[in-house]
Structure 1
C-alpha cells in the first residue's frame, strides 16, 4: 500500500518541499534498529514479519527470527545476551529472546492491541514496556511481571529511563513520568492542542530530556522537537522537520542528539542543527554504536543504513 503513512508527505503543505520523500510499501517499513552493547550486532525489524540480526563487522545477516506481523521495537539487555522485542497487529505478545539458547519468553499482561515502547533500565534490573492501552509494565530479565501502572490515557508510544534508573519518561498523548521509588505518576500536555508524541530520550546527564511529536497536518501543526527539564518545564521547542519524529537517540558522550524523521538530523545539546542527511528518506529506526562513532538507521523502504558522525553512508543493506 503506497504512502502508508501520508504524514511523511502531506507535511509538504506545511513546508516548501524541495526534496520529495521516497514512496514505499506497508510491507517494507522497518520500525526499529538497535545496536548491541558489545558493538557486535544490530537488530532490525518491522512489517516484514522477521527480526534480522546483522553482524556489525561484515554487515551480513547473522541470524533471523520469524514473528507474526509487525515488530515495533527492540532493546538489548546492557550486560546479558538478551533481546526484548515488542509486537503489534498480532495476537502474539512481546517477548524476551535469549540470544544464546534462542528461547523466547513471552511477557504477560501486555495489551491485546500490542506495544511499541521498550527499554532496559541502565543497570539491567528492569525491562520497561509501554503498551497500546497506556500501561507501563516493569519486568525482570526472566520475564516476570513486577509492576504495572496506567500512565497514558490512550497509548504509550515511546519511553526512556532516567540515567539514575529511578524514573521512566513516557510519551503518547501526554508526556508522563513514573517514579519507581514513590510509584507516583505525573503527566503533562506538551502543546496547547493535543498532538501525539512518538519519541523521548533523557540526556545522559539526566539534566533534561528531548521529545518528538507527530504534528497534525489537518490543524497545520508541524512536528515539534522539544527539550524539557526533569519536571517537564519547556526549555526549547524546534520546528524543522517535515515528518514525524519517529526516534531520538543521544550520543553516548551526550554531545549530540540524533533524530529520525525526513532523513537523519544531528543536534547540539542547546538545540542547534549540526547536520541533515538522507533528506529523501523516511526514517524510522535509529541507534548509535556503543562508542558513538557510527549510527544505524532503518527506512520505510526496507533499508538498513550505517553512517559516520559526518552523516556519510558507510553501508546500505536491503
Structure 2
C-alpha cells in the first residue's frame, strides 16, 4: 500500500523565512514556540497562526540552529500548501545557511527539485542534476494517481504508455480508464487507447503488468488477462503508426518482459527461469535460474547482460527483500551486484552500460550502482515525502526517468453514532484508539517505522516507537486491552524479535526471538498473554516474559491471521499456503475445532470474533485477487458456516470486523474507492457508514474505543508524476 510522509514534525519540518523582528528567546522558548506552531498547523488547522509562529522561530536570534532549520522546513511546506511563492525563497535560505542540518538540508533540496526548474548552484549533491517533470496525472484528468506505476516511455521521451487502473477499487473510481493501456503525450495533451478494437479480448485486464517499448520505438509488448482469472496472453503492438495488434500465442510470461537492444528479440520470466523469444513469438532459448521470486529488469546496451531481481534467502520480508543480479546471455552465468537486501524496484541500465539504476524501499530513493566495483551505490533522489518507482532510461538520449508517487493521509475522529460529524486530528494513518477513547496511536505518513500518539484533547503528538534500521511492519503493533502496553515484532536479518513497550513510551522489553513470525502479535483479553504465528506454529507467551509455547501446528502451510475470542477461551487462526482453512483451539483443553469446510472459499482473511465469542467471521474468495469476495460466519456451537454477505463486481468487501457491541459488522469495500459499509450481521441492508471525502480512500478499518463510543480512521489521497533527471557532469 502507498504510505507517504507529511507529518514531518519533530523528525524534520518544512522551510521558510521572511524577516520579522522578534523579542529575545531562550532555546527552550523557541522549542516551545515550535511545538505551538506544529499544534496550530496539524491539530487546530490554523495555518495563518502556524506560519506566524514558524517565522518567529526561524528569525529568532537565540533559537538553536536545529530548531531554526525545523521551522524553515515547516514554513516552506506551509507556504507550498497555501500556494505562496515564498516557499522557494525559504528553501533557498535553508540550503545556503544550514548545510550542517543534514535532514532539513536534504529536504530543502527535495522541495526545490519540485518547485524550481533547477537547484541552486553549489547545492551538492542534488545540484549536480536537473529534475524536470514530464507528466502529472492531473494533466489528463486522471487525478489521484490511478496509473503511472505500470508504464514505459518511448525511446525519444515523447510518449508514455501506461496501464490504468491496477486495482479493482481504482476501476470503480475511474471506469473511463478501466483495465486498459493508454498512450499519453509527455505533457499530457493527448491521450488515446493502445488497443482500439480488442475483439474477443475486449474487457480483458491489460493494466496489471509492465508494457515494454522496443528500443527502436516501433513495437510494444504487453500482457493481458481475462476477467475470469483464466488465460494470460502476450500481445505485440506492431508498427505503431498502422495500429496493428498481434497475439503471440506461444509466449508465456509470469513476471515480466524486456527487449534486447536489436528490437528483434525479447525475454520473459517464469518460475523456472528466463525464455528468449524472437519478436514473432518463437522460442529461441531457455535459461535456468534457482530463484522463483525474481523480477525482470533490462538488457545491457551491448546485449550481453540481463539485469533482474532475486529474492534474498538469508533475509526476511519475502515481498520486499531482493538483490540485483546479472545473467550473461552468452554463458548463462549469474553475477550478484548488490548485497544489502531490501526492495530494488526494476533495475535499468545507464546508456553506457557501466551501471544500473534501481529503487530502494527504506527510504524510497533511486540509487545508481556501478557494475564490477565495490563502490557504494550513489543516491540519486532525496525525496522525504514520496515514493520513487520504476526507473526508465531513454535509449536515444540516456536520460533517466522515474515515477514519483506522493500523498497525504489524515486521521479523523468522531462519535460512533455520528461518523459524518468528523474532526481531523493529525496527519497520519492506520490509527488505533485506546480502550478509554482518550488517545489515538497512529503511524507517521511515509515512515512505516514510527508510531506516534496524540490525546483527543489535541495537546500534541508524541513519538512512541521508532523501528530504526530494523523493519517494523506496517500496522505491526498491537495495543493491550487494558491500554497499558504495546507489542510488536522488529524484523532483521536473523529473524523476528518480539518486544513490549509501555503505551506512553519508554524502554522496550525483549520477550522472544522468532524465526518466521507473521503479522502483529495478538493480545489475550486479560492482557496477560500474547499469541502469534511462527511459521507453522501457533505460539503463546506470557506478556511478562518466559518460555514461549507452541500450542498447535498448521496442517497446511503456515499460521497466518490470529484472533483471540473476547471471553479468552479460544484462539482462532487461518492456516494455509495455496489453500486456506480456519480453525480454533480451546485454550484450556487444546482441542481443535475446524471452522471451514472443503467447499468453502479458497482464500481467507479478515478474521474477527463476534463479541459473544460464539462465532467468528472471515472474508474470502474462490479465485485470484480481484474476484468476488464473500463474508462468511462460522459457529462454534454447531451452526455450521453461513454466508453473511455476498459481494458483486461493483461491491467488494476486502476487510471486515464486528463492532464492539456485536450489533453491526463493518466492511471495507472498493465500490467507489475504499469506504466503510455496515450491515446488521445478517447480510441484509448493507449501507454506507463512512464515506471518504473527494477522491480519498479509507485504509485500514476504523478503530473503536472499548465501549464503542469513539471511532477513529484515516483517509488517504495520492498523486503520481513522471520526472526526468539530467546529469550536469
TM bucket, shorter chain: 0.7 to 0.9
SS of alignment partner, residue 71 of structure 1? coil
Is the CA contact (8 Å cut-off) linking 1:214 and 1:244 kept in structure 2?
no
Seen in structure 2, the aligned counterparts of structure 1 residues 123 and 193 have a Cα distance that, compared at 3 Å, is closer
Return the match for 1:93 from 490, 493, 497: 497
Is the CA contact (8 Å cut-off) linking 1:288 and 1:294 kept in structure 2?
yes
Is the CA contact (8 Å cut-off) linking 1:54 and 1:63 kept in structure 2?
no
| Residue 165 of structure 1: how far off its partner (Å) | 0.9
Q: Counterparts of 1:205 and 1:243 in 2: how far apart (Å)?
A: 26
Q: Counterparts of 2:639 and 2:609 in 1: how far apart (Å)?
A: 12
Q: Give the structure 1 partner of residue 260 of structure 2.
A: none
Residues 104-162 of structure 1 deviation map (CA, whole Å, 9 limit, x = unaligned): 123324233x321432222222212234x242211212133442132363343322222
Q: Give the structure 2 partner of residue 305 of structure 1.
A: none
Seen in structure 2, the aligned counterparts of structure 1 residues 296 and 190 have a Cα distance that, compared at 3 Å, is farther
Is the CA contact (8 Å cut-off) linking 2:499 and 2:512 kept in structure 1?
no
Q: Give the structure 2 partner of residue 17 of structure 1.
A: 172
Question: In the alignment, is residue 176 of structure 1 matched against residue 598 of structure 2?
Answer: no
TM-score (norm 2): 0.35
| Residue 12 of structure 1: how far off its partner (Å) | 5.8
Question: In the alignment, is residue 74 of structure 1 matched against residue 477 of structure 2?
Answer: yes
Q: Counterparts of 2:498 and 2:582 in 1: how far apart (Å)?
A: 23
Moved more, 41-50 or 179-188: 41-50
Question: In the alignment, is residue 40 of structure 1 matched against residue 438 of structure 2?
Answer: yes
Which runs of 5 or more structure 2 residues have no equivalent in the other structure?
Answer: 3-145, 150-162, 176-385, 388-404, 410-427, 719-729
Q: Give the structure 2 partner of residue 143 of structure 1.
A: 545
Residues 1-30 of structure 1 deviation map (CA, whole Å, 9 limit, x = unaligned): 9789x9x953369xx82567xxx9699898
Return the match for 1:233 from 627, 640, 650: 640
Q: Give the structure 2 partner of residue 258 of structure 1.
A: 666
Seen in structure 2, the aligned counterparts of structure 1 residues 105 and 152 have a Cα distance that, compared at 3 Å, is farther
Residues 63-108 of structure 1 deviation map (CA, whole Å, 9 limit, x = unaligned): 2321133234332222362111245576442321123562212332
| Greater helix content | 2
| Greater strand content | 1
TM-score (norm 1): 0.74
Q: Counterparts of 2:498 and 2:661 in 1: how far apart (Å)?
A: 31
Q: Counterparts of 1:243 and 1:93 in 2: how far apart (Å)?
A: 36
Moved more, 235-244 or 65-74: 235-244
Question: In the alignment, is residue 64 of structure 1 matched against residue 464 of structure 2?
Answer: yes
Question: In the alignment, is residue 202 of structure 1 matched against residue 600 of structure 2?
Answer: no
Q: Give the structure 2 partner of residue 111 of structure 1.
A: 515
RMSD value, Cα: 3.8
Seen in structure 2, the aligned counterparts of structure 1 residues 268 and 128 have a Cα distance that, compared at 3 Å, is same
Q: Counterparts of 2:559 and 2:594 in 1: how far apart (Å)?
A: 12
Which runs of 5 or more structure 1 residues have no equivalent in the other structure?
Answer: 303-318
SS of alignment partner, residue 108 of structure 1? strand
Seen in structure 2, the aligned counterparts of structure 1 residues 293 and 115 have a Cα distance that, compared at 3 Å, is same
Residues 258-302 of structure 1 deviation map (CA, whole Å, 9 limit, x = unaligned): 233432222212233132434651522532122312322345769
Alignment of 1:154-165 (within 5 A): 154-165=557-568
Residues 46-71 of structure 1 deviation map (CA, whole Å, 9 limit, x = unaligned): 86221222323328423232113323
Question: Which aligned runs of 4 or more in structure 1 are off by greater than 6 angstroms?
Answer: 1-4, 26-31
Q: Counterparts of 2:627 and 2:537 in 1: how far apart (Å)?
A: 27
Q: Counterparts of 1:177 and 1:94 in 2: how far apart (Å)?
A: 23
Q: Give the structure 1 partner of residue 627 of structure 2.
A: 221
Bigger radius of gyration: 2
Q: Counterparts of 2:662 and 2:483 in 1: how far apart (Å)?
A: 24
| Residue 203 of structure 1: how far off its partner (Å) | 0.9
Is the CA contact (8 Å cut-off) linking 1:287 and 1:295 kept in structure 2?
yes
SS of alignment partner, residue 497 of structure 2? coil
- The count of corresponding residues between Structure 1 and Structure 2 is 292
| Residue 234 of structure 1: how far off its partner (Å) | 0.9
Is the CA contact (8 Å cut-off) linking 2:631 and 2:653 kept in structure 1?
no
SS of alignment partner, residue 17 of structure 1? helix
Is the CA contact (8 Å cut-off) linking 2:537 and 2:553 kept in structure 1?
yes
Is the CA contact (8 Å cut-off) linking 1:287 and 1:297 kept in structure 2?
yes
Seen in structure 2, the aligned counterparts of structure 1 residues 189 and 80 have a Cα distance that, compared at 3 Å, is closer
Seen in structure 2, the aligned counterparts of structure 1 residues 189 and 228 have a Cα distance that, compared at 3 Å, is closer
Is the CA contact (8 Å cut-off) linking 1:157 and 1:197 kept in structure 2?
no
Seen in structure 2, the aligned counterparts of structure 1 residues 104 and 268 have a Cα distance that, compared at 3 Å, is same
| Residue 200 of structure 1: how far off its partner (Å) | 1.2
Seen in structure 2, the aligned counterparts of structure 1 residues 205 and 194 have a Cα distance that, compared at 3 Å, is closer
| Residue 204 of structure 1: how far off its partner (Å) | 0.9
